[in-house]
Amino acid sequence: MLLAALSTAVVGTLLAVGITGAPGWDRVKTSFFDPDAAVEYLPEILTGLWLNIRLLVVCAALALTLGLVVAVLRTLRGPVFFPVRALATGYTYSFRGLPLIIVIYLYAFGIPGLRLQGTPDVLVLGAAAIIVTYGAYLAEVFRAGIESVHPSQIAAARSLGLSYRQAMRHVVLPQAVRRVAPPLLNDTVALQKDVGLISLAGPIDAIRAAQIGVAQDANFTPYIVAGVLFVLLALPLIGVTDWVTLRAARRQNAGS
């Protein structure tokens, strides 16, 4: 422990000396780490962050639901379900390949361009873009968990009189979700960062509020403030993810 702490302190000191001793450090410090600018724009950025938090909760819940439904559809057996499997497969392939920025632009600016009655505002459309994109990633995670459950367990459940739907609900899905909990949480951490892309659609979230501050003062400190707030927001979820991952590894080692 002492050696680890000492080596960490040495590396940190060398980095600090190297950065602060650079010829352009004074200019960078003024442009990116101005405490007056940080204090000035912190309230607006915090207000925008509240929008990001609400968006994260809604998008995470709906993306997880969408991913689970698509994963179940992709695992349906029998030729009669081929069209359903094909649609689910096409959806996951398409949205896993499309950059999220492009999907947000298509939803937030393309759909209103159709001039359809009842078109939601750009906040809802941007959130929908995030949901369908992350739903595709989460669907593959869920599918991997479902297919990791041995088919004999479904057969045993069916032999006990359970229908296929009951076997999936009571036997397969509980095991599948437990097995893929760590990657699901990792994707949720990534989603926590990507909700900041909603600023591309126009709503004033933490990123947009920081951008407004940068444009007003020609100082990049508001971006640093927004970045620090996003890191602080992610820390609890990252801690939970690490704990769940460690617990799953211990359970697997104990069972092997």
Residue spans per domain, the chain: 54-205
Interatomic CA distance for residues 137 and 161, integer angstroms: 34
Torsion angle of the four alpha carbons 211, 213, 214, 216, in this order, in degrees rounded to the nearest 10: 120
SS3 13: helix
Angle, helices 122-148/35-74, rounded to nearest 10 degrees: 50
Interatomic CA distance for residues 120 and 18, integer angstroms: 51
Interatomic CA distance for residues 87 and 69, integer angstroms: 12
Q: What is the pLDDT along the chain (256 residues), one digit of tens a residue?
A: 677 777 887 787 878 777 777 788 788 888 888 889 899 999 999 999 999 999 999 999 999 999 999 999 988 888 888 899 999 999 999 999 999 999 999 999 999 888 888 888 899 999 999 999 999 999 999 998 888 888 888 788 888 888 778 888 888 888 888 888 888 888 998 999 999 999 988 888 999 999 999 999 888 999 999 999 999 988 888 888 888 778 777 776 665 5
What pTM value is reported for the model?
0.87
- As given in the structure block, the two tokens for residue 125 are 């459309």
| Structure-token match 């799953």, residue found | 248
Fold for 54-205, please state it. Answer: MetI-like fold (1.10.3720)
Instruction: Give the long-range contacts of residues 51-57, CB within 8 A, separation 24 or more.
Output: 51/198, 51/203, 51/204, 51/205, 51/206, 52/195, 52/196, 52/198, 52/205, 52/206, 52/230, 52/233, 53/233, 55/127, 55/130, 55/195, 55/198, 55/205, 56/191, 56/192, 56/195
DSSP 197: G
